[in-house]
Amino acid sequence: MEKEWKTGFGRKRIKRRIENGTARQAGGFNWDKWTTGKPAERLALIPAGQEHILEQEDGKKRWGQVVTELSRAFALCAASDEAAAIRDDVSFFQALQAALNKQTVNHNKTPEQIDAAIRQLVSKAITTEGQVIDVFTAAGLPKPDISILSDQFLAEVRGLKHKNVAAELLEKLLKDELKVRSKRNLVQAHVFSEKLKQTLNAYHNRAISTMQVIEELIQIAKDLDAASKRGEALGLSEDEVAFYEALAANESAVIAMGDDKLKVIATELITQVRKSVTIDWTLREGARAKIRVMVKRILNKYGYPPDLQDEAVKTVLAQAELLCAEWQPG
């Protein structure tokens, strides 16, 4: 396509292709309002356009390829009359591509900053019947202090007019949430990442409908929220919950030990492992071996099933490595 733009014939042909096949009207989707509409009408075209793209088979990938090629070609002759004639269309296509590729998280930020950034994005992205709304205002909240996993927030997402956009939004929010949790709770992040992966695979393979995937993603969000509250219910700190879940990863251990005993083990593990951590313990096999023996001794002390101990020790050590930066002396 870039080569075509270098000749007048190429420019005219692509211009004609856009005018006849895509400009202002394509596949039943009209974007006249991008140039003639009011600000709210223009903004409403973004989620509507996303919905149209996501409805197509492999639409997001194919759209990205087309817009990339078009943008490169357009850049070669941006000052030409032919390019000027389609400038508004190109800007709309690029705006849609930016929305589809929008990253909602900067992993160098704190969880609180990430949560605020996500909610700020959502408040700007949600539209209903052609009008941009703030989901928090609609929910009657004076400020965005609602959890992105709350029932109230998820109800707002479920009510979005554009269902494919809602599914895409939920996917991004859950992936961002799990990325944050993977830095604190190894087992929880792994379990829910697998659930999310299975659900999205079924959706992308057309095994479930858009409405079904929205409901399943909402259920994952609710389960994740319930897991977040487990520590409070068990009377454990966030770190203790992470170790508790490392011990409870095997259902047989939960059945054999019960919650109360696993809580006691998790609490003692936190105390003893933290005492044993040195600055370079993750790099020194001798230090790791010492902690490994200590963990196994605690498991034996409380009667943790012997056939499950090796796997539990590995998981506990991996969990300790996630948190060791906060535990290291100094």
Banded model confidence at residue 299, pLDDT cuts 50, 70, 90: very high
pLDDT at position 16, please? Answer: 53
Question: pLDDT for 276-292, tens place per residue?
Answer: 776 566 667 777 788 88
Label residue 25 by pLDDT band (50, 70, 90).
Answer: low
Residues 119 and 214 in one domain: yes
The tally of domains found in the chain comes to 3
Question: pLDDT tens across 317-326, in order?
Answer: 888 888 776 6
- Are residues 220 and 308 both part of a single domain? no
pLDDT of residue 140: 39
Q: Is the pLDDT of residue 132 over 80?
A: no
pLDDT at 113 over 70: no
Nearest CA to 225 out of 106, 115, 103, 113 is that of 115
What mean pLDDT value characterizes the chain? Answer: 75
Tell me, letter by letter, the H, E, C secondary structure of 80-96. CHHHHHCHHHHHHHHHH
* Residue 193 forms part of a structural domain: yes
Last residue of a domain, one of 205, 228, 251: 228
Residue 121 has pLDDT above 50, yes or no: no
- Kindly state whether residue 106 falls inside one of the protein's structural domains: no
Q: Is the pLDDT higher at 310 or at 149?
A: 310
Mean pLDDT of 93-101: 79
- The per-residue pLDDT for 56 is 84
Q: Residue 282 is part of which domain span?
A: 235-327
Under 8 Å between Cβ of 43 and 129: no
- The confidence score (pLDDT) of residue 198 equals 95
Mean pLDDT, residues 125-148: 39
Of 179, 200, 201, the C-alpha closest to 190 is 179
Please give the pLDDT value at position 26: 62
pLDDT of residue 43: 73
Residue 235 has pLDDT above 60, yes or no: yes
What does the pLDDT read at residue 44?
A: 76
Last residue of a domain, one of 71, 101, 131: 101
Tell me the C-alpha distance between 266 and 243, whole Å.
Answer: 5
Q: CA 150 → CA 120, 157, 176, 238, distances in Å?
A: 16, 11, 16, 19
Q: Is residue 239 in some structural domain?
A: yes
Residue 213 lies in a domain: yes
User: What pLDDT band is residue 220 in, cutting at 50, 70 and 90?
Assistant: very high
Residue 222: CB atoms within 10 A of its CB come to: 14
pLDDT value, residue 131: 35
Q: 172, 197, 228 — which closes off a domain? A: 228
Q: Within a 13 Å sphere around the CA of 280, how many CA atoms are in the beta-carbon half?
A: 4
pLDDT band at 187 (very low <50, low <70, confident <90, very high): very high
73 and 133 in a common domain: no
Considering the domain architecture, whether residues 85 and 141 belong to the same structural domain is answered as no
Could you tell me if 111 and 180 are in contact, meaning their C-beta atoms sit under 8 angstroms apart?
Answer: yes
Residue 23 has pLDDT above 50, yes or no: no
Query: Looking at the predicted structure, is the pLDDT value of residue 77 above 50?
Result: yes
Residue 240 shares a structural domain with residue 184? no
Q: Among 85-99, 170-184, 189-203, 310-324, which is the least confidently predicted range? A: 85-99
What's the CA dihedral at 188, 190, 191, 194 to 10 degrees?
150
Residue 97 and residue 18 in one domain: yes
Task: Report the run of H or E that residue 132 belongs to, with start and end.
Answer: strand 131-132
Judged by average pLDDT, the poorest of 48-62, 109-123, 128-142 is: 128-142
Q: Could you tell me if 168 and 196 lie in one domain?
A: yes
Higher pLDDT among residues 120 and 58, named by residue: 58
Whether the predicted pLDDT of 3 surpasses 60: no
pLDDT at position 199 is: 94
User: In this model, does residue 328 exceed pLDDT 70?
Assistant: no
Quote the pLDDT of residue 50: 82
| pLDDT for residue 233 is more than 60 | yes
- Mean pLDDT in residue range 217-231: 88
Q: Which residues of 27-57 are buried (b: 16+ CB within 10 A; e: fewer)?
A: eeeebebbeeeeeeebbbbbbbbbbbbbeee
Share of the chain above pLDDT 70, in %: 73
Q: What mean pLDDT is predicted for residues 253-265?
A: 89
Of 88 and 265, the structure prediction assigns the larger pLDDT to: 265
